[in-house]
Amino acid sequence: MVASVLRRFLVPLAAGALFLSALPSGSAIAEPSYDLYEVRGATTAQDRTEITATGAAIDQVGDDSVLVTATPDDAEAIGDLGYDVEVLDLPVPFAGPDSGYTTYGELLGVIDQMVADNPRIAAKSVIGRSHQGRDLVAVKISDNVRVDENEPEVLFVHAQHAREHLTVEMAVYLMRLLTDEYGSDPRITRLVDNREIWILPNVNPDGSEYDMAGSSWRNWRKNRQPNAGSSAVGTDLNRNWDYRWGCCGGSSSNPSSSTYRGSAPESATEVRVIADFVRSRVVGGEQQITTAIDFHTYSELILWPFGHTYSDVTTGMTRAEYDTHAALGRHMAAANGYTPQQSSDLYITDGSINDWLWGDQRIVNFTYEMYPRSAARGGFYPPSSVIARETARNREAVLRLLDYADCPYRIIGRQAAYCG
């Protein structure tokens, strides 16, 4: 089925030469090219972790295969591990940027208008700047929005990965939902009155803009920060967080990799800004943010920590804490039809925001991998005609997280022990 929409040719060892010869003349030391490959013969999480250890990023997991974004060198290394590797030439990513997706400039306009229309419950702050100097924005939604009240705080993070544009649309949807339905929908009114909701609508604007700027999508994942001693640009923000950074074979030390972890924890400008923001929500020694979602695409999954280990219970994660994540994850997945699982059921990741938010800040948190389920439905680039449906699909799931933000441990009946 997938094959019918793909033009395929067998790679591998020739691939390096093939892509090199496709480079414009005079760019012998060019940035690496990132392409989509199908890898067959991978059935377990251990297989998939071994594949990511080459530097490839896994985009989609099947029963006995995965799709990866990889450089020709990564692909060759995967072949050397004994897997069957084919490059895929997908039509969708080669189509031009879809004007139905919100650019960074448009996003800032949407935010300013929304705040102007709802000044009592919505406020914008600039929490820092991206590597290239773009504003990194936080939108707060709550009653008495100018006052830091003693209400459970909830964090939504969008677009750590540049090409995952549907996550920006998710932020736009959430901002509109919470402001438009305030005063008319009783549940939303109660949640806005009793929570302080922080939306970070695009934490990687340099990457987003780069991905959209050409005549075709660029399949870009990282930020746009140069790397010392390399022509390869960018750090994978979701491998740069300061909790067991680089510990466990779940990220790359090679700047050419699309999962490059950076030169040090928080070396990525944007990660440092967001982490400082989250730390600033510690008031009186207590982290005010209780729950969070980090939005990604794609695969229709709800993932919980840890990612750096296959173990569910381990240092920094008790049985009750794991069960709270699993129960809340499943409760949300029952609302949106995504598949709930621990993130390492897919493959090991280290330096992810999930592991840091829980391991360092004790915030119960999830990764949503949004629509679609597969590359055959558009992968990272579904048509903008799906935006309304696929953002509204998460309405009930997100409201469930907001409901439980007073005490997430309530979902396993442990509120007395944890929130007394």
Q: Does 142 bind Ca ion (CB under 5 A)?
A: yes
* CB of 51 or CB of 200, closer to Ca ion: 200
Q: How far is it, in rounded angstroms, from Cα 249 to Cα 308?
A: 8
CB of 393 to ligand 0X9, least distance (A): 17
Q: Which residues pair with 156 in a beta bridge?
A: 199, 293
Provide the angle, in degrees to the nearest 10, between the axes of the packed helices 14-22 and 72-80: 170
> Which range, of 112-120, 291-299, 319-327, 407-415, touches Zn ion by CB under 5 A?
291-299
The yes-or-no answer on residue 38 being catalytic is: no
> What DSSP designation does 150 have?
S
State the residue for tokens 């009653």: 143
CA 52 to chain centroid, in Å, comes to 17
Q: Does 144 bind Ca ion (CB under 5 A)?
A: yes
308 by DSSP, 3-state: which? coil
Residues 313/319, Cβ–Cβ less than 8 Å: yes
* CB of 148 or CB of 180, closer to Ca ion: 148
User: How many of the chain's residues bind Zn ion (CB under 5 A)?
Assistant: 3
Task: Please select the residue that binds Zn ion; options are 296, 308, 325, 393, rule is CB under 5 A.
Answer: 296
Kind and range of the H or E run holding 200 = strand 196-200
- How do beta strands 122-129 and 282-283 pair? unpaired
* CB of 202 or CB of 288, closer to Ca ion: 288
CB of 236 to ligand 0X9, least distance (A): 7
Cβ-closest residue to Zn ion? Answer: 296
Phi then psi for 342, rounded to 5 degrees? -65, 145
> Which range, of 156-164, 212-220, 259-267, 405-413, touches Zn ion by CB under 5 A?
156-164
* CB of 280 or CB of 315, closer to Ca ion: 280
Q: Which of the choices ligand 0X9, Ca ion, Zn ion, none does residue 148 contact, using the CB cut-off of 5 to 8 A by kind?
A: Ca ion
Nearest residue to 64 (alpha-carbon basis) of 38, 35, 89, 90: 38
Q: Does 161 bind Zn ion (CB under 5 A)?
A: yes
Catalytic hit among 50, 86, 369, 390: 369
Q: Which of the choices Ca ion, Zn ion, ligand 0X9, none does residue 349 contact, using the CB cut-off of 5 to 8 A by kind?
A: ligand 0X9
259 by DSSP, 3-state: which? coil
Which residues contribute to the site for ligand 0X9 (CB under 6 A)? 57, 59, 161, 164, 238, 296, 303, 305, 307, 343, 349, 352, 354-355, 367, 369
> Which range, of 135-143, 295-303, 345-353, 398-406, touches Zn ion by CB under 5 A?
295-303
What does the block give as tokens for 271?
């990660």
Q: Which of the choices ligand 0X9, Ca ion, Zn ion, none does residue 256 contact, using the CB cut-off of 5 to 8 A by kind?
A: none
One-letter amino acid of 60: Q
Sequence-ordered list of residues with C-beta below 8 angstroms from that of 175, at least 6 positions apart, any chain: 110, 111, 114, 122, 139, 141, 199, 201
Q: Does 280 bind Ca ion (CB under 5 A)?
A: no
Q: Give me the residues that bind Ca ion (CB under 5 A), please.
A: 142-144, 148-149, 196, 288
Instruction: Point out the residues that are catalytic.
Output: 369
